[in-house]
């Protein structure tokens, strides 16, 4: 009884103290004031505050035509309505949208918010995000190099895409968009779009297995960028304190040859985050502002994205995603699950070593289902709930869950 009274008293005292520190429990907090509270006070206050839901969703909202997504969204795009319906059910506080075409003025992001998220879809509730971030990506940006080794520098169509810094038919295709209910500390954001692949010690340089020689000549190799889209570290000011949202969309480990250049690139794109959070000196890991080094060891983070690597099945290198899953700084937790994943896997009849209930993507009868989308919290965070938005076929939500070959993954976290 005395312990209960003491706990209630501590909560009351903390809430009063929080008010003095201008922390608004029902709105956007002063996250840095929260960090300055003594340990027990900070812990109790976080318990009293809402959990933060982080999510990732590959939306497949892209076009092969430059400006094509804007044209789609200006009309009444059926797939965009379905994507918005999923987001209105998941209701993440902070979400990464992969494969959302970038445009410099953010017109596509404006249209998606105003015409789709702000409007009830399939009986959902409108969803508004006051904060967002988008920026240039490497996809579709001409490199001026013969990256695919066909003897020429592609200028149009797929040939252009193959020789871009990241595959794309136009600059910004398959871009990234972060939406948030909480402020994003853009001044401290770090981007690694320009980081050279060769800067990584012991990088997995592609080699022609027939000759044993590197696939790319030295002059090309020294210029290749590691990130196929970009890697962003976005500090988010949440009721649970500052949490770094580490987002990316590594290349699929396919669409190449025996040199496995995409498989190796995928593995090293994942290694970028593994090294970034390792706590070890990484002087080579320099962002686009030339600030070098990794994430501080006391920082809380969530890694999210279509990471294009299944831990057991699929074509990725066997140790690609385990670089993150086995990291000492990543919280060990049961993977999020769905009812629809195993149901769809059973229809295909694929023999899988992994558990299809944790799969997140459906690539059809020739490839099957895989787990390639992740939301991975750091140590120092506790997961209250998690899931994959992949309903069973007889669920009413299944009617709008098929606009993308991926399904949204989400977790609810609080700080320890």
Tell whether the torsion through CA atoms of 372, 55, 97 and 249 is positive or negative.
negative
Q: Is 76 within the bounds of a domain?
A: yes
Residue 351 pLDDT: 81
Q: Could you tell me if 66 and 22 lie in one domain?
A: no
Instruction: State the chain's maximal CA–CA distance in angstroms.
Output: 79
Q: Is 166 within the bounds of a domain?
A: no
| Structure-token pair, residue 4 | 């209960």
What share of the chain has pLDDT > 90, as a percent? 84
Domain, as residue range, for 205: 55-137+172-415
Residues 6+ apart with CB under 8 A from 152: 146, 159
User: How would residue 24 be classed by pLDDT, with cut points 50, 70 and 90?
Assistant: very low
Q: Could you tell me if 45 and 184 lie in one domain?
A: no
- Angle 227-231-235 (CA atoms, 0-180°, nearest 5)? 170
Q: Could you tell me if 35 and 180 lie in one domain?
A: no
176, 97 Cβ separation under 8 angstroms: yes
C-alpha 211/C-alpha 232 separation (Å) is 37
Tokens 């797929």 correspond to what residue?
A: 158
Q: Is 158 within the bounds of a domain?
A: no
Residues 6+ apart with CB under 8 A from 358: 335, 336, 337, 341, 371, 388
For residue 271, the domain's CATH number is 3.60.10.10
Q: Is 129 within the bounds of a domain?
A: yes
Which residue, among 205, 187, 190, 203, has the nearest Cα to 293 in the 3D structure? 190
Q: Could you tell me if 101 and 218 lie in one domain?
A: yes
3-state secondary structure 287-351: CCCCCECCCCCCCEEEEEEECCCCCCCCCCCCCCCHHHHCCCCECCCCCCCCCHHHHHHHHHCCC
User: How would residue 48 be classed by pLDDT, with cut points 50, 70 and 90?
Assistant: confident
Q: Is 154 within the bounds of a domain?
A: no
Q: Could you tell me if 256 and 363 lie in one domain?
A: yes
134, 98 Cβ separation under 8 angstroms: no
Q: Is 163 within the bounds of a domain?
A: no
Per-residue pLDDT, averaged over 352-365, amounts to 95
Per-residue pLDDT, averaged over 342-352, amounts to 91
Residue 23 pLDDT: 32
Q: Could you tell me if 85 and 128 lie in one domain?
A: yes
Q: Is 144 within the bounds of a domain?
A: no
Q: Could you tell me if 280 and 197 lie in one domain?
A: yes
Q: For the chain, what is the domain count?
A: 2
Does residue 1 carry a pLDDT above 60?
Answer: no
Q: Could you tell me if 12 and 113 lie in one domain?
A: no
Q: Could you tell me if 120 and 1 lie in one domain?
A: no
pTM of the model: 0.90
| More confident position, 173 or 50 | 173
Residue 21 pLDDT: 37
Q: Could you tell me if 181 and 40 lie in one domain?
A: no
**79-99 confidence digits (pLDDT tens):** 999 999 999 999 999 999 999
Domain boundary among 11, 34, 49: 49
Q: Could you tell me if 252 and 218 lie in one domain?
A: yes
C-alpha 111/C-alpha 182 separation (Å) is 20
Which residue, among 216, 226, 97, 98, has the nearest Cα to 146 in the 3D structure? 216
Does residue 169 carry a pLDDT above 60?
Answer: yes
Q: Could you tell me if 38 and 61 lie in one domain?
A: no
Which residue, among 40, 70, 45, has the nearest Cα to 241 in the 3D structure? 45
User: How would residue 350 be classed by pLDDT, with cut points 50, 70 and 90?
Assistant: confident
Say how many Å lie between the first and final Cα of the chain, rounded: 25
340, 401 Cβ separation under 8 angstroms: yes
C-alpha 43/C-alpha 45 separation (Å) is 5
Per-residue pLDDT, averaged over 65-83, amounts to 98
270, 376 Cβ separation under 8 angstroms: no
Q: What DSSP letter does each residue of 339-378 carry, written as one string?
A: SHHHHHHHHHT---SS-GGG--EE--TTT-EE--EEEEEB
**234-278 confidence digits (pLDDT tens):** 999 999 999 999 999 999 999 899 999 999 999 999 999 999 999
Q: Is 34 within the bounds of a domain?
A: yes
Question: 3-class SS at 176?
Answer: strand
């Amino acid at each position: 009884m005395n312990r209960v009274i003491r706990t209630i008293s501590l909560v009351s005292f903390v809430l009063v103290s929080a008010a003095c520190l201008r922390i608004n429990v029902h709105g956007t907090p002063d996250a840095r004031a929260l960090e300055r509270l003594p340990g027990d006070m900070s812990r109790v206050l976080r318990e009293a505050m809402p959990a933060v839901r982080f999510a990732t969703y590959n939306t497949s909202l892209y076009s092969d035509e430059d400006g094509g997504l804007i044209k789609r969204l200006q009309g009444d795009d059926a797939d965009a309505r379905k994507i918005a319906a999923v987001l209105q059910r998941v209701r993440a506080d902070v979400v990464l949208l992969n494969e959302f075409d970038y445009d410099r003025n953010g017109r596509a992001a404006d249209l998606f918010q105003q015409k789709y998220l702000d409007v009830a879809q399939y009986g959902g509730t409108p969803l508004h995000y006051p904060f967002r971030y988008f920026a240039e990506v490497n996809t579709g940006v001409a490199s001026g190099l013969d990256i695919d080794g066909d003897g020429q520098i592609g200028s149009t169509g797929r040939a252009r895409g193959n020789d871009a810094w990241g595959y794309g038919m136009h600059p910004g295709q398959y871009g990234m968009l972060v939406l948030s209910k909480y402020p994003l500390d853009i001044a401290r954001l770090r981007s690694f779009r320009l980081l050279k692949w060769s800067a990584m010690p012991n990088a997995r340089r592609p080699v022609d297995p027939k000759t044993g020689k590197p696939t790319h000549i030295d002059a090309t190799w020294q210029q290749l960028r590691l990130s196929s889209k970009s890697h962003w570290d976005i500090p988010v000011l949440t009721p649970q304190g500052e949490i770094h949202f580490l987002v990316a969309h590594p290349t699929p480990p396919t669409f190449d040859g025996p040199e496995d250049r995409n498989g190796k690139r995928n593995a090293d794109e994942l290694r970028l985050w593994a090294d970034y959070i390792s706590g070890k000196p990484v002087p080579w890991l320099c962002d686009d502002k030339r600030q070098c080094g990794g994430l501080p060891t006391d920082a809380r983070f969530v890694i999210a994205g279509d990471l294009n690597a299944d831990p057991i099945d699929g074509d990725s290198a066997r140790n690609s995603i385990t670089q993150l899953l086995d990291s000492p700084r990543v919280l060990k937790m049961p993977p999020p699950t769905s009812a629809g994943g195993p149901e769809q896997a059973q229809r295909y009849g694929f023999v899988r070593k992994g558990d299809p209930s944790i799969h997140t993507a459906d690539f059809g009868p020739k490839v099957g289902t895989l787990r390639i989308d992740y939301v991975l919290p750091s140590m120092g965070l506790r997961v209250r709930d998690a899931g994959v938005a992949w309903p069973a076929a007889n669920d009413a939500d299944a009617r709008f869950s098929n606009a993308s070959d991926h399904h949204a993954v989400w977790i609810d976290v609080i700080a320890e």
